[in-house]
Amino acid sequence: MPIAFITGITGQDGYYLSKFLLEKGYVVHGTIRRSSTFNTSRIEPLIAKYSKEDNLILHYSDLLDSSSLSTLISTINPDEIYNLAAQSHVAVSFNNPVFTTQTGTLGSIALLESIRSLNKKIKFYQASSSEMFGGKSNEMLSEASPFDPRSPYAASKVFAHNITKIYRDSYDIFGVNGILFNHESPHRGETFVTRKITRAVSRISVGIQSKLTLGNLDASRDWGFAGDYVEGMWLMMQHENPDDWVLATGESHTVKEFVEEAFKIVNLNSSDYVETSEKYFRPNEVDFLLGDSQKAQNELGWKPKTSFKELVKIMVESDLELAKRESVLIKEGLLSPTWDNS
């Protein structure tokens, strides 16, 4: 059975990728961070299903602890490493620039060094990002487009992207960069804009929230479904030669369009509930992202399967179920709503 090692297994993509690999028959090892509260909620169903047979094994580690990463790689000797861990929130990266940069840069080089010194046959996937392009024009972006990072997060991703190429070219290591445009799901972190919107719309619809406060409504993103994108990550690792590939839908929508589509699903008018606050604007904005995934379509046979409207619907419907459960807990006095001013 092939063995995969995933950093960031507790995140959105970690959940979808580990599910995908486990269903393919992989043994999956993942790193989790020690935390004072549980941080494994996304992968609990996978733990219940796969850990008894030792197909899913979790290890305490941190991208800043290169010695633990190296010990794990030498003990597990995986076939494939997927480096998904990151402080992945762009706005937070302006507040925590050193931590974001350390996590984004040191982890990738520590993993590549382990591969170089322990076993050069181990394949490496780096989670690169469309944020690296900067988004100052309305052009379609491909693997050939120049990088122009606009946040500490994006700058750290450019480093990790480049060091992956450097190790590929210098040491003949199978290192790939997946340049992924925004991808969302019901498992998306709740402070990213799409999930913040679908959580709020659902709570407003069941009467337990009164408004939705956002920042820049004019920013435009190429939003796809995370479940589609993890298949692309795996396909990159199965390609004959390592390379860089863009995964994107080829459609860009503004935050305002996402908001309107989400409210439409619950038959409400967004203008009755949405307000903006300076608090959610960033020191530097990526205005427009639109990706060209022709290379992945031609070389990997990958294509996005979920449309923008389907994505919004999947997320709103899932969050409506959560909101209904919250509503019951509030009525029973077991939960206090705190989200209206968050």
The only residue of 3, 22, 62, 322 in contact with ligand NAP, by rule CB under 6 A: 62
Q: Could you tell me the smallest distance in angstroms from the CB atom of residue 255 to ligand GDD?
A: 5
- Residue in 80, 131, 184, 326 annotated catalytic: 131
- State the Cα–Cα distance between residues 160 and 157, nearest whole angstrom: 5
Note if 153 is an active site residue.
Answer: yes
Q: Could you tell me the smallest distance in angstroms from the CB atom of residue 213 to ligand GDD?
A: 7
Q: How far is residue 301 from each of residues 6, 81, 208, 341, measured CA to CA in Å? A: 24, 22, 44, 45
Is the Cβ–Cβ distance between 16 and 45 less than 8 Å?
no
Q: In degrees, to the nearest 5, what angle opens at C-alpha 48 toward C-alphas 46 and 54?
A: 80
Shortest CA distance to 13 belongs to which of 90, 92, 88? 88
- Residue of this chain nearest to ligand NAP (CB atom): 11
CB atoms within 10 A of CB 64: 14
Residue 146 tokens, joined = 């120049």
Note if 131 is an active site residue.
Answer: yes
- Binding to ligand NAP by CB under 6 A, coded x per residue (else -) over 142-181, reads --------------------------------------x-
Q: Could you tell me the smallest distance in angstroms from the CB atom of residue 62 to ligand NAP?
A: 4
- State the Cα–Cα distance between residues 258 and 265, nearest whole angstrom: 11
Q: Could you tell me the smallest distance in angstroms from the CB atom of residue 311 to ligand GDD?
A: 13
Q: How far is CA 85 from the centre of its chain?
A: 9
Is residue 182 involved in binding ligand NAP (CB under 6 A)?
A: yes
Backbone phi, psi, residue 276, to 5°: -120, 155
Residue 89 or 239: the one with the smaller Cβ distance to ligand GDD is 89
219 makes contact, choosing from ligand GDD, ligand NAP, none, with CB < 5 to 8 Å by partner type, with ligand GDD
Q: Among all residues, which ones are annotated catalytic?
A: 129, 131, 153
Q: Point out which residues bind ligand NAP (CB under 6 A).
A: 7-8, 10-14, 31, 33, 35, 39, 62-64, 84-88, 103, 127, 129, 180, 182-183, 189
